Amino acid sequence: MSRIKELFEKKNKRILNVYFTAGFPNLEDTSILMEALQENGVDLIELGMPYSDPLADGPVIQESSLAALQNGMTIKKLFEQLASMRDKIHVPVVLMGYMNTVMQYGFEKFCSDASLVGIDGLILPDLPPFEFEKMYGAIVAKYNLDFVFLVTPETSEERVKKLDNLSSGFLYAVSSSSTTGKDKKFNDITEYLVRLQSYQLKNPILVGFGIRDKATFDSVQAHSNGAIIGSAFIQALSTSKNIKLTTADFIQGVLN
């Protein structure tokens, strides 16, 4: 059983998935942050692979990506950092990024190396479902990786069900069709989440984009399995003088 599936079987509600950009604030902070997130109760870690043109991301994550690239972060460097990850990290870890970066590395080599270091799944927002189904899905499955598609309030029922069928691990419910980091009126998305629930999807639902604190985290719990925080955490890291303490304070502020 995959680590992601095992997580959702053990804990079906209030899952906290936290995103941060690998190589930010400093090149060698990746492992430190992963351990700090795990120690403070994060259920799942979403590790961003920096890219110069991250289409789905707002300015906070874009800036962290550019900083990480300037720090010298590459996919090769990231896999080197993650080589002994499973000695200490037991929570599921997914990689989030863009196809250009993965294709430059080589798609099958990327999946193979990701699996080898203990990565559990992939989120590649610009990989079209048709191409995944016809070309890439079999490679992802070959290396026992989960693959997560994103849906939005504008996604039709037919397409939601199609993406749910192609996904494994969980389905990423984007709270609106804007980029990450935007403020959302979360009372406006209840209807959307109720609608997703009514489709009786096979995958758990995690809500992302605009989740930033305890109030927004709590607000989506009634109609989802949990939520994803990214920009707000990176914002906290960007002004941090001690990333371990910042991480502890941030996560405890969300969960307690």
Contact 86, 138 (CB under 8 A): no
Q: How many CB atoms lie within 10 A of CB 108?
A: 13
The residues carrying an active-site annotation are 46, 57
145 contacts 119 by C-beta, under 8 angstroms: yes
First to last CA, the chain: 30
Task: For residues 250 and 2, give the distance between their C-alpha atoms in angstroms, rounded to a whole number.
Answer: 28
Q: Do the beta carbons of residue 179 and residue 156 sit within 8 Å?
A: no
Among residues 190, 203, 109, which one has the least CA distance to residue 149? 203
The amino acid occupying position 226 is G
